[in-house]
């Protein structure tokens, strides 16, 4: 469970199960999105503070403004969850340099400035969590509808159902709290048992 004085900064893009989980656990949550996240913030429960901030995370000046606001309001960040991403449904033949750069600018680039902004406070406090999320999938123009790949994925899983947003929120509850203090640099596959690499 989160402590009353904990707060989390989350870059909001692909759903908001992480925010719901952290807020319900009592963390103060900063929701960051390229669109005004007021609606996302309004449905969060829990006793902690909730703040929504608009930010184009590929713009360094906007990232600086968001991290500065979080520092000014809370003094530190205990839990940083990187969850922004764009996922173009394309293949190598159709991938342009512009699209490739956009994916890198949104999915990868912001990890450094957000982590660099909050890591010193985590070190000073002697604790902190940074969680990077990712997505593995592929599709091709003119390929099957989404129902077909979902059925194929489910068939490969140990747990025979499609995932729901709460599955990811619940998975986030494992590494971010004090019970996981001795766990570092792990890959957690929240995929119903489809990945069996042991990574």
Tell whether the model's pLDDT for residue 130 goes beyond 70: yes
pLDDT for res 1:
38
Residue 125 lies in a domain: yes
Q: What is the mean pLDDT of residues 163-187?
A: 72
Segment 132-156, tens digit of pLDDT:
886 654 444 444 445 566 676 667 7
What is the rounded distance in angstroms from the CA atom of residue 101 to the CA atom of residue 71? 30
User: How many other C-beta atoms can be found within 10 angstroms of the C-beta atom of residue 102?
Assistant: 14
User: How many other C-beta atoms can be found within 10 angstroms of the C-beta atom of residue 109?
Assistant: 18
CATH code assigned at 41: 3.40.50.720
pTM for the model stands at: 0.74
Domain range enclosing 95: 7-180
Residue 92 lies in a domain: yes
Residue 117 lies in a domain: yes
Residue 194 lies in a domain: no
Tell whether the model's pLDDT for residue 85 goes beyond 90: no
Residue 2 lies in a domain: no
Segment 95-118, tens digit of pLDDT:
899 999 998 998 888 899 999 999
Segment 59-71, tens digit of pLDDT:
999 999 999 999 9
Segment 19-48, tens digit of pLDDT:
888 999 999 999 998 889 998 899 999 999
Residue 49 lies in a domain: yes
Q: What is the mean pLDDT of residues 122-127?
A: 92
Most confident of 3-17, 32-46, 182-196: 32-46
Q: What is the mean pLDDT of residues 145-173?
A: 68
What is the total count of domains within the chain?
Answer: 1
Residue 34 lies in a domain: yes
């Amino acid at each position: 469970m989160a402590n009353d004085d904990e707060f989390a900064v989350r870059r909001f893009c692909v759903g908001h199960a992480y925010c719901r989980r952290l807020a319900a656990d009592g963390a103060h949550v900063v929701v960051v999105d390229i669109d005004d996240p007021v609606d996302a913030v309004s449905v969060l429960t829990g006793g902690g503070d909730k703040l929504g901030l608009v930010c184009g995370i590929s713009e360094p000046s906007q990232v600086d403004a968001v991290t500065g606001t979080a520092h000014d309001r809370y003094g530190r960040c205990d839990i940083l969850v990187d969850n922004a991403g764009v996922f173009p449904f394309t293949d190598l033949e159709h991938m342009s340099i512009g699209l490739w750069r956009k994916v890198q600018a949104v999915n990868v680039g912001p990890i450094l400035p957000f982590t660099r902004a909050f890591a010193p406070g985590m070190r000073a406090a002697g604790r902190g969590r940074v969680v990077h999320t990712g997505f593995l999938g592929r599709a091709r123009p003119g390929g099957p509808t989404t129902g077909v790949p979902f059925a194929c994925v489910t068939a490969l899983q140990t747990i025979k159902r499609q995932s729901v947003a709460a599955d990811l929120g619940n998975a986030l509850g494992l590494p971010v709290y004090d019970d996981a203090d001795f766990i570092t640099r792990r890959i957690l596959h929240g995929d119903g048992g489809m990945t069996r690499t042991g990574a």
